[in-house]
Amino acid sequence: MKTFTLEQIAQITGGMLTKAADVAITNIAPPMLADENTLALALGEEEITNLSSTKAKAALVPLGVNIDGFTTIEVERPRLAMMKLISMFYEEPRVNSGIHPSAVVASTAKIGQNVSIGQNVVIAENAVIGDNTKILANCYIGNDAVIGSDCFFHPGVNVGDRVKVGNKVILNHGVSLGADGFSFVTENPNNIEQARKDGEIKEQVTEQVIFKIPSIGSVVIGNNVEIGANSCIDRGTIENTVIGDNTKIDDLVMVGHNCRIGKGCMIVSQVGIAGSCVIGDRVVIAGQAGLADHISIGDDTIIAAQAGVTKSFPAKSIVVGAPAVPRKEFIKQLKIMKDAGELIAKFKKYEPLLKSFEDGVNDGVNEGEAKA
């Protein structure tokens, strides 16, 4: 069991210890789940209120929160401090030392120093595994793949042929790198091509053979990248699909063939990025957003959750809606819809008067025609 003093925790988190309670910290938890040896995490208003009922003797709180008679560690950035705390108590999955007897490692593969290869792992011909990399059970590393140093691959990762992975990369359960891209062609123009050209489907669509376009490119993953469980990054058709340094990808994300994603991006769960997109540095794409193929997204752009992005956007855009538009335009649209709702309500209120007026006008016209 890991144990820390409050002084050690304050030093590691960069916080200010307001009162030194004599307690050894063995765990961290929200206030209502904390006991005497747990550091309560009171990062928001509700948790701070709950400190009055906690069994904990000490808490991590935002800077400026003072509680009489209670030991606190005040921090300027609570979430950053929480990350440091969790890292202190975190225990990595257990790994075996060296190569497990059930692993299959090709004779031509090059394995670095202090590498751990788990049960039923397959390392194919001419693959290269860097120093200190850990590959857990049931992973597959393809022919001529190059894996950097200090990587950690959770169980069930599949790395295709010729894929290159940088240093300090984390691949979570079930990640697929380097599967063939979703790329097909028909002998004659199909309904998709008609729709793109003319905005409608004019000609009669007949059954055609759909030919698969093989992918001869690969995937290149930069340094310090993390990819979440069951995410898929397809190899390029001719060029490589590229993920830049320090980019973090959540679970269940799909990155299509030929995409180029920049450095320091954050891509949240269930995002789908179609083929040949170019995404700049430090772009944030929130959950369930979808990007059409062959579009460009500039640096430092934020794409909101469930946005349907059908066109390119410049740097520092904030993109909302489906079809996606700049945030200011989206707010304008909402205001127009609100105003329209109020106008409709007023119209319905005065509709009987309008009908009465129209009936009166019609009666007058009919009377005039009768006299004529």
Catalytic (active-site) positions: 257
Q: Is 207 exposed, middle or buried (0-12, 13-18, 19+ CB in 10 A)?
A: exposed
- 145: amino acid identity, one letter: A
Burial of 91-129, coded b for 16+ CB within 10 Å and e otherwise, reads: eeeeeeeebbeebebeeebebeeebbbbeebbbbebbbb
Structure tokens at 289: 């957003």
Helix axes 78-89, 6-13, angle to 10 degrees: 120
For residue 249, give the nearest of 314, 169, 312, 309 by alpha carbon: 169
d(CA 325, CA 108): 52
What are the DSSP calls for 187-241, one per residue? SS--HHHHHHHHSS--SPP----EEE------EEE-TT-EE-TT-EEEPPSSSPE
d(CA 150, CA 168): 5
